[in-house]
């Protein structure tokens, strides 16, 4: 434990903060199937550089992705899931490249904007419509992949794709979890190949694995027991906090 903490390069206080944020974000992930990176990346950007926060969030999503993936795949809406996931994996390298050429403060600002945009998206009432066509589905995967690489946030385009269409909540949750794991696989592979990853981030991901697994487990147990208005409010509040915190970091 001490060796991992030393390798991570964080103080104990910063590690406790990161662990608490990871637990809360993973709880939301277990409860809703989305939201972990949207919440986590802006807050982790308070204690580490934004590009490190992105890679760390990708690593954490990669580590937690296999949990329940078989069940999620069986319950998912396979045609759309396969297309969105494949497109997202192809476009993730572009997002990482954009992150690498973006100044840190601007990256924080853009990541905060994504979080606040997701906050607005969540609090807006859903409008049910027919199933999206092929171009919209491909566009959803493309934007999801770019946001995975740039901000470790594949969710903003994927969440409305399922939640604001005629998709059963169980199917929507399963579909999103499969897509997010696929994006995390691509992000992790590109990070390792390109040298974006580091020993410190690997050590930190292992230190945060426990809080993440615990939060996800408790959130999954609560799935189906919390009414949609309540979990929508929970996610909205956390997204708002994440976005505002990131903006304050930029301003400060």
Q: Which of 32-41, 111-120, 207-216 tops mean pLDDT?
A: 207-216
Is the pLDDT reported for residue 14 higher than 70?
yes
pLDDT in tens, 141-190: 999 999 888 888 887 788 778 876 667 778 888 898 899 999 999 989 98
Please state, in angstroms and rounded to a whole number, the distance separating the CA atoms of residues 69 and 182.
10
pLDDT in tens, 98-148: 988 988 878 878 877 877 777 776 666 655 556 678 899 999 999 999 988
Residues 6+ apart with CB under 8 A from 189: none
The pTM for the full model equals: 0.80
Q: What local confidence, expressed as pLDDT, does residue 245 receive?
A: 67
Q: Which domain, by its residues, includes 43? A: 2-251
Name the domain count of the chain.
1
Residue 234 banded pLDDT, cuts 50, 70, 90? low
Is the pLDDT reported for residue 5 higher than 80?
no
Is the pLDDT reported for residue 50 higher than 90?
no
List b or e across 35-74, with b for residues whose CB sees 16 or more CB atoms inside 10 angstroms.
bbbbbbbbbbbbbbebbbbbbbbbbbbbbbbebbbeebee
| Higher pLDDT pick, 129 / 200 | 200
**Average of per-residue pLDDT across 6-12:** 70
Q: What local confidence, expressed as pLDDT, does residue 229 receive?
A: 67
Residue 101 token pair: 């050429």
Comparing CA positions, the residue from 104, 111, 97 lying closest to residue 38 is 111
């Amino acid at each position: 434990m001490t060796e991992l903490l030393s390798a991570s390069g964080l103080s104990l206080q910063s590690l406790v903060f990161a662990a608490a944020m990871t637990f809360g974000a993973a709880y939301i992930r277990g409860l809703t199937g989305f939201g972990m990176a949207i919440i986590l990346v802006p807050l982790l950007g308070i204690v580490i550089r934004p590009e490190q926060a992105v890679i760390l969030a990708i690593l954490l999503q990669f580590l937690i992705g296999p949990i329940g993936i078989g069940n999620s795949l069986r319950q998912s809406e396979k045609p759309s899931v396969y297309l969105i996931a494949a497109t997202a994996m192809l476009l993730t390298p572009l997002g990482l490249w954009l992150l690498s050429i973006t100044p840190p403060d601007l990256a924080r600002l853009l990541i905060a904007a994504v979080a606040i945009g997701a906050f607005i998206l969540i609090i807006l009432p859903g409008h049910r419509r027919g199933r999206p066509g092929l171009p919209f589905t491909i566009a959803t995967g493309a934007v999801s992949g770019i946001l995975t690489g740039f901000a470790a946030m594949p969710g903003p385009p994927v969440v409305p794709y399922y939640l604001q269409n005629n998709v059963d909540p169980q199917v929507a949750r399963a579909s999103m979890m499969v897509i997010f794991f696929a994006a995390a696989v691509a992000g992790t592979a590109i990070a390792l190949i390109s040298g974006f990853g580091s020993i410190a981030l690997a050590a930190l991901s292992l230190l945060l694995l426990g809080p993440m697994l615990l939060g996800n487990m408790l959130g999954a147990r609560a799935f189906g027991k919390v009414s949609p208005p309540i979990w929508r409010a929970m996610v909205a509040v956390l997204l708002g906090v994440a976005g505002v915190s990131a903006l304050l970091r930029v301003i400060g």
